[in-house]
Chain A
């Protein structure tokens, strides 16, 4: 295939604007998938992806398309992750393309994520094909949305494609626009090989499947290649392309995408953004844009039953095989025993990972409240990165604590500006910018502590704006503030898994709310249980769970002993799922009580 008949593109959209449905229709239209094999969100192979309507892993699919100009084209559709947590992966997938279809919902209009993705696309110098989807909705307002695209994004909408992916309207127009507008790949066929890794997956039989886009030169089966970031050599054992059925090919030329199988064992050994060249004839320069992944949110993951530690470790390792953005290390908690401190890109990433552990590996988990990473500058001049509040050194050793600050972009109809300002101020946000996209749509930019966002900010934002606002954020810097560790004591013992780092001004309210909530979730025990919140040695709040006085079945149900035995079994099961912390039985949900305290 000549490079001039190749098009590499992805689809970018805000969540729920129809990206996957458009991809499904394109697969059907190009005959890649028979209608009877079609299932919704075809490219999202994980159950959780389908269920939550999000894409987590990237996929490249090779499609054949005969355009109206009579030429046969090869289209590489690169399906990118669709969530703010996976921003870097998105940027690498986009770097594998020359263009992108920009999908905007005809009713919802331009949203924060749309913009964030557009900026990523523009950074990658992509040509955008604007598409307005769901034009047959009663609430569709394509003219206004066009205006938003022109004003807010600054791209020409004279050639905008109107479609309804759900009803198959306008799909061919999209493909024609892709062929016509998006430029063919450029590259030097004779230069030393340079291929960019834009994702990788783990396969139990074949090891790591490395998804690459060849930028310069060509790669053949049997080649010895060199990974320029990892500085290691591998043999290319096999090359495949997905159509989406996997087909073995002999080589990939510049401009093409495909999957390399090199016998690599760990996904972690293949970094996204990596440059692959030939071992003998090496390229002199790496491809631009490589970044080491940075975990933003950490959480402790513990087995409910301590004898399931090994099982949990196996599961975490296996799941981690397929997730280069995930990190973990063993952690010991006096309250929860042996477990793992795990790092994630964001809360969604964390939730998905935890759900997969529970579902695919049948692990019963206790997870602690997520924490961001803090920089603790000590009196002795050293600095430690802290992802577990329980490990904060004593106050006397600390010079200052710095916390991560993000730049948050919020898109909203203008009527909610007041509500959002209040919310952001409550969360220690500082407004940096406010721009009108159109008469009634506004972009607000805030600098906020990441810690204030990771808990429930997004939910609160949605509530405050009846679901209309959208949020995106990126890391800015570590910044010093007056931060303290808030400890929770049960029956006079500090429960390390419940400690959180908070701003001093908020310690009292947070402590009070937390104690109150714990009082509700901790069941009555054989003795009075004191629940206290403390900063340092100072108790700032206290409540008591009164001792259980009556817990006895009145009647023995005549001769129906089975019924009583079943009640006992239920009770035992309930007990089994509790953690014993200093003689106090604490249910699983208590460890997440930290997450939602302010509504009480």
Chain B
């Protein structure tokens, strides 16, 4: 695989509030050490970049947490550093995650000025009771306000793309509710929607509430129905599914996420960030920084990396990774790319293993791609396990 790095992920862990279902690396802080965090990010970038070879960057992703709390100046500083070190390709995709409750009016424009080309905002619902059930900080009105700003920035060309995250399959939610949410969001002209079914992740407050019977467990059958219904709900707005949970207008799929899903290398820095870098003698190295905010901060203050995970990925493991991510794509897994990166034998063996699924009508295989038919997407994990 080409060892040059074209994708960078920056994690900003701070949130104003931790939502009940969330199991990402987040830190709730009353006072966010924006400047100190920036210095540490730049330190980690320097340390990790030292041994890497870069191509002009195609994508940068500021994820969180709530990186819209960092301020345009910090974002600009990181982008300046990356520009000096690696430079940017033409039309880079530079994404910032934001939350409705965590934006001052005018902020988004300032971020666009700092270099952000794509904003992904955590709307989750446009319904006050459901937002409360999800333990979100904002209400529907705040969500609409943010969506209106995004619509404005898109219309005036100051942002190239915008995404809203939506959670579905919340106990009590109906198909009609889902349609109302989707329409309410896309009426603002967004180019991208990520729709995730509510998942009870172990260790979260939501999991504890479900276990104690305080909250109903999301209903699998309802979620499956909604998953099947979403493409039809989104088609009138010109959005098509390109990944299990992601929909976009033509030309607007997240290039950064696609890099993850097609096995590209990416540099990642920040608390709990996960990266994938070239490594001699292996397909690559996957590392994960500590999710513990204080530990990471203390280590970086000493110019030390702070990892929880460091794993050389061999061909077998990478084969599984490519299945896991590639089969989630509507375009399917690129078998030619798989053969190029891991050898023709693996491609042939995979095609053989896929045969029963294809015959059963769960998988399709043509044009050098292997994919899952839309109506079988809901059983994707089992299908992947069959092939792995």
Q: Are B220 and A550 in contact (CB under 8 A)?
A: yes
B119 to chain A, nearest CB (A): 17
Q: Are A562 and B311 in contact (CB under 8 A)?
A: yes
Q: A565-B321, A568-B385, A572-B385 are in contact. Are A559 and B274 (CB under 8 A)?
A: yes
Within 8 A of B (CB), among A559-587: 559-562, 564-565, 568-569, 571-572, 575
- B127 on the A face (CB < 8 A): no
Can you identify 17 A-B contacts, CB atoms within 8 angstroms? A549-B220, A549-B221, A550-B224, A550-B227, A551-B381, A553-B199, A554-B196, A554-B245, A556-B245, A558-B24, A559-B260, A559-B275, A562-B286, A568-B324, A568-B384, A568-B388, A571-B385
Contact indicator A564/B224 (Cβ below 8 Å):
no
Contact B379–A555 (Cβ < 8 Å): no
Q: How many whole Å from B380's CB to the nearest CB in chain A?
A: 4
Interface assignment of B261: CB less than 8 Å from any CB of chain A: yes
Chain A residues within an 8 Å CB radius of B321: 561, 564-565
B324 CB contacts on chain A under 8 angstroms: 561, 564-565, 568
Interface residues of B in 86-111 (CB under 8 A from A): none
CA distance A551 to B384 in the complex (A): 11
Q: How far is the CB of B152 from chain A (nearest CB, A)?
A: 28
> Looking across the interface, which residue of chain A has its beta carbon closest to that of B24?
A558
CB contact under 8 A between A559 and B382, given known A550-B221, A552-B244, A565-B320: no
From B309, which residue of chain A is reached at the shortest CB distance?
A562
Q: Nearest chain A CB to B232's CB is how many angstroms away? A: 17
How far is A548 from B317 in the complex, measured between Cα atoms in Å?
27
Query: How many angstroms between the C-alpha atoms of A285 and B332 in the bound complex?
Result: 83
Q: Which of A388-404 contact B (CB under 8 A)?
A: none
Which A residues are in CB contact (< 8 Å) with B362? 526
Closest Cβ of chain B to A583, distance in Å, is 10
Q: Is the CB of B223 within 8 A of A550?
A: yes
Contact A575 B273 (CB under 8 A): no
Question: Which residues of B have CB within 8 Å of A565?
Answer: 317, 320-321, 324
**Contact B380–A551 (Cβ < 8 Å):** yes
The smallest C-beta distance from B257 to any residue of chain A, in angstroms, reads: 8
A564 → B minimal CB distance (Å): 5
State the CA gap A559–B25 with chains docked (Å).
Answer: 12
Does B382 contact A551, Cβ atoms closer than 8 Å? yes
Cβ–Cβ contact B261 & A556, under 8 A: yes
A559 touches which one: B268, B320, B328, B388 (CB < 8 A)? Answer: B268
Binary contact readout B255-268 vs A (1 if CB under 8 angstroms, 0 otherwise): 00100110000101
How far is B272's CA from A559's CA once the two chains are assembled, in angstroms?
A: 10
Nearest 8 A-B pairs (CB), nearest first? A550-B224, A549-B224, A554-B196, A552-B380, A559-B274, A560-B274, A550-B220, A554-B197
Would you give the shortest CB distance from B378 to chain A, in whole angstroms?
A: 5
**Separation of A553 and B200 alpha carbons in the complex (Å):** 11
- Alpha-carbon distance between A297 and B132 when the two chains are bound, in angstroms: 60
Q: Is B288 an interface residue (CB 8 A)?
A: yes
B325 CB-CB contact with A under 8 Å: yes
Contacts of B384 in A (CB 8 A): 568
* Residues on the B chain within 8 Å of A549, using CB: 220-221, 224, 378-379
Given the contacts A555-B196, A556-B325, A562-B288, A550 and B378 also touching, CB distance less than 8 Å: yes
* Smallest Cβ-Cβ distance to B194: which chain A residue: A555
In the complex, which residue of chain A has the Cβ closest to the Cβ of B23? Answer: A557
B276 within 8 A of A: yes
**Contact digits for B322-347, partner A, Cβ 8 Å, 1 yes 0 no:** 00110010000000000000000000
CB distance from A169 to the nearest CB of B (A): 51
- Of the candidates A526, A550, A561, the one whose C-beta lies within 8 Å of that of B260 is A561
CA distance A551 to B196 in the complex (A): 13
Number of B residues, CB within 8 Å of A: 45
Cβ-defined partner of B199 (8 Å) among A554, A558, A571: A554
Which bracket fits the contact residues of A?
20 to 34
Q: How far is the CB of A571 from chain B (nearest CB, A)?
A: 5
Provide the residues of chain B in CB contact with A554, threshold 8 Å.
Answer: 196-199, 244-245
- Closest residue of chain B to A548, judged by CB? B379
Give residues 218-239 of B contacting A (CB, 8 Å): 220-221, 223-224, 227
Q: Is B363 an interface residue (CB 8 A)?
A: no
Interface residues of A in 410-464 (CB under 8 A from B): none
* Least CB distance, A545 to chain B, in whole angstroms: 14
Bound form: Cα–Cα A594–B196 in Å? 41
A61 CB → nearest B CB, Å: 53
Chain A residues near B382 (CB-CB < 8 A): 526, 548, 551
Tell me which residues across on chain B come within 8 A of A571, comparing CB atoms: 381, 385
Q: Mark B275-317, 1 if CB is under 8 A from A, else 0.
A: 1100000000010100000000000000000000101000001
Residues in A with CB closer than 8 Å to B325 are 556, 561, 564
Is B162's beta carbon under 8 Å from chain A?
no
Chain B residues, CB < 8 A from A526: 360, 362, 379, 382
Q: Which residues of A have CB within 8 Å of B24?
A: 558
- Chain B neighbourhood of A572, CB < 8 A: 385, 388
Are B378 and A561 in contact, with the CB atoms below 8 A? no
A404 to B245 Cα, complex, angstroms: 62
Residue of A whose beta carbon sits closest to that of B257:
A556
Indicate if the CB atoms of A553 and B381 lie closer than 8 Å: yes
Q: How far is the CB of B321 from chain A (nearest CB, A)?
A: 5
Q: Are A575 and B385 in contact (CB under 8 A)?
A: yes
**A552-B227, A556-B328, A572-B385 in contact; A562/B379 too (CB < 8 A)?**
no
Q: How far is the CA of A575 from the CA of B266 in the complex (A)?
A: 32
Any A CB within 8 A of the CB of B377: yes
In the bound complex, residues from chain B placing their C-beta under 8 Å from that of A556 are 243, 245, 257, 260-261, 325, 328
Report the nearest B residue to A558, measured CB to CB: B63
In the assembled complex, the Cα of A519 lies from the Cα of B301 at a distance in Å of: 57
A551 touches B379 (CB 8 A): yes
Distance between Cα atoms of A575 and B387 in the complex (Å): 12
Query: Which one of B224, B245, B288 contacts A560 once the chains associate, using CB atoms below 8 Å?
Result: B288
Q: How far is B380's CA from A549's CA once the two chains are assembled, in angstroms?
A: 10
Q: Give the most central of A559, A565, A568: most B CB within 10 Å.
A: A559
Q: In the bound complex, do residue A559 and residue B245 qualify as a contact, i.e. CB atoms below 8 Å apart?
A: no
Q: Which residue of B lies closest to A574 (CB)?
A: B385
Contact with A along B348-388 (1 / 0, CB 8 A): 00000000000010100000000000000111111011001
Shortest beta-carbon distance from A560 to chain B in Å: 4
What CA separation (Å) do A552 and B168 show in the bound complex? 14
Residues of B within 8 A of A555 (CB): 196, 199, 245
Q: What separation, in Å, do the CA atoms of A51 and B218 have in the docked complex?
A: 43
Q: Which chain A positions have C-beta within 8 A of B224?
A: 549-550
B320: A residues at CB distance < 8 A = 565, 568-569
Query: What's the least CB distance linking A559 to chain B, in Å?
Result: 4
The complex places the Cα of A288 from the Cα of B324 at a distance, in Å, of: 71
A553 to B323, CA, bound (A): 14
B9 at the interface (CB under 8 A from A): yes
- Tell me which residues from 498 to 550 in chain A have a Cβ below 8 Å from any Cβ of chain B: 526, 548-550
With the chains together, A554 CA to B224 CA distance in Å? 11
Q: Report yes or no: B223 in contact with A562, Cβ–Cβ below 8 A.
A: no
Cα separation A131 to B17 with both chains bound (whole Å): 70
